[in-house]
Amino acid sequence: RDLFGELHQLEQLSLSHNLLQSLPKDIFKDLTSLYFLDLSFNSLKYLPNGIFPESLQILNLEYNSIYSVDPNLFSTLSYLSLIKNDFRCDCNLRDFKTWLNQTNVIISHSIEDVTCAFPE
């Protein structure tokens, strides 16, 4: 089902506070003008590669349950917020940590605020 199929001109979208647990990889594929996306205060655990349109610049992922993330997801961004997620600190998160320390993307909070939920 094509949820946003006819909304090519949509620039801003807030899906915060919707109890979302997952998102299909192609959910935003038709939102070719989308530059602001708020997914905060959901229960997202994982974001598939290629989920965000190339037009996306501002992304809010605060207060989710994201445990692992590929930094390639954020290649088009200029601004990102990730506080209060459940990152799993393992070898898979190393690239993300390196990216956080080297990126030109504005992170809305101190990198030290991105903490591991497990292992404790």
* pLDDT tens per residue across span 84-111: 888 887 877 788 888 888 888 998 877 6
Is residue 31 domain-resident? yes
The residue-averaged pLDDT of 16-24 equals 96
pTM metric for this prediction: 0.88
Structural domain boundaries enclosing 94:
12-118
State the total domains in the chain.
1
Share the mean pLDDT of the chain: 89
pLDDT at 118: 67
Is residue 7 domain-resident? no
Is residue 97 domain-resident? yes
The residue-averaged pLDDT of 43-60 equals 96
Closest alpha carbon to 103 in 63, 59, 65 = 59
The CATH number of the domain holding residue 88 is 3.80.10.10
> Could you tell me which residues are beta bridge partners of residue 78?
none
Is residue 28 domain-resident? yes
